[in-house]
């Protein structure tokens, strides 16, 4: 069988930065922080289902923490006068027993976010739109916004047929093994009337040749995530 690596995890420390920064004491606490980060992301995803959140960056110490949400719909995330953010902060404090300051950064080009485009595909498929038409429309939108390569894969009972299959839609070749390639990736599911469909989206924005330090990578992920 093939050995498949995660397109983002493969490039962490090379052209991608960590989405979590933890200052822990010992391995045990670091493991606890790791599990807590996963639970935090799942909780935020459940609180804001398909709300256009591209990425969640978590920074934490023993006493305090910070969560940065990169979103295309800032108004939906904040709510009226920031009420939804305040509600989320209170619920996280009650559930995890720690105060997290939540901030939001707007994404200028949502079409270059693999997660946002995967959510768009899932919503369209659940609305019974033809999967080929949806995939080709997404590829066209992404390429028009400046992407270099795009790949969309949809699997399951496509069109309601009895036998499940996979179909892949490409625009040029996505260099999955080129470490200097700046690739965004996301996988999710669409729950349709005739079953669950799997969706994978790869968006390549070009190549990065200069080696960057950890600090430079983290600054880029915070300040220029939409570039």
Query: Which distant-in-sequence residues (6+ apart) come within 8 Å of 81 by Cβ?
Result: none
Alpha helices per DSSP H over the chain: 26-47, 74-78, 83-96, 114-126, 131-144, 214-223
Q: What is the mean pLDDT of residues 163-170?
A: 92
Cα(79)–Cα(123) distance, integer angstroms:
22
Cα(84)–Cα(87) distance, integer angstroms:
5
Q: What is the mean pLDDT of residues 186-192?
A: 93
Token output for 64: 């305090």
Q: What is the pLDDT of residues 1-30, one digit of tens each?
A: 466 788 888 888 888 888 888 777 778 888
Q: Is the pLDDT of residue 42 over 90?
A: yes
Q: What is the model's pLDDT at position 203?
A: 93
Number of Cβ within 10 Å of residue 133's Cβ equals: 10
- Among 105-114, 183-192, 206-215, 217-226, the minimum mean pLDDT is found in 217-226
Query: Among candidates 168, 167, 144, which has minimal Cα distance to 157?
Result: 167
Cα(51)–Cα(47) distance, integer angstroms:
9
Cα(142)–Cα(206) distance, integer angstroms:
13
């Amino acid at each position: 069988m093939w050995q498949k690596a995660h397109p983002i995890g493969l490039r962490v420390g090379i052209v991608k930065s960590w989405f979590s920064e933890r200052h822990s004491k010992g391995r045990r606490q670091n493991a606890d922080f790791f599990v807590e980060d996963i639970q935090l992301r799942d909780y935020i995803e459940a609180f804001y289902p398909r709300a256009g959140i591209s990425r969640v960056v978590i920074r934490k110490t023993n006493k305090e923490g910070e969560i940065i949400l990169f979103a295309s719909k800032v108004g939906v995330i904040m709510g009226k006068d920031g009420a939804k953010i305040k509600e989320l902060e209170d619920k996280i404090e009650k559930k995890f027993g720690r105060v997290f300051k939540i901030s939001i950064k707007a994404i200028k080009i949502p079409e270059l976010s693999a997660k946002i485009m995967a959510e768009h595909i899932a919503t369209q498929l659940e609305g019974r739109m033809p999967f080929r038409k949806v995939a080709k429309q997404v590829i066209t939108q992404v390429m028009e916004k400046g992407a270099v390569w795009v790949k969309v894969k949809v699997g399951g009972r496509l069109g309601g047929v009895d036998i499940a299959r996979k179909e892949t839609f490409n625009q040029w070749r996505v260099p999955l093994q080129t470490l200097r390639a700046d690739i965004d990736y996301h996988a999710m599911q669409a729950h349709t009337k005739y079953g669950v469909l799997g969706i994978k989206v790869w968006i390549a924005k070009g190549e990065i040749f200069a080696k960057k330090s950890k600090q430079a990578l983290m600054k880029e992920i915070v300040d220029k995530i939409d570039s």
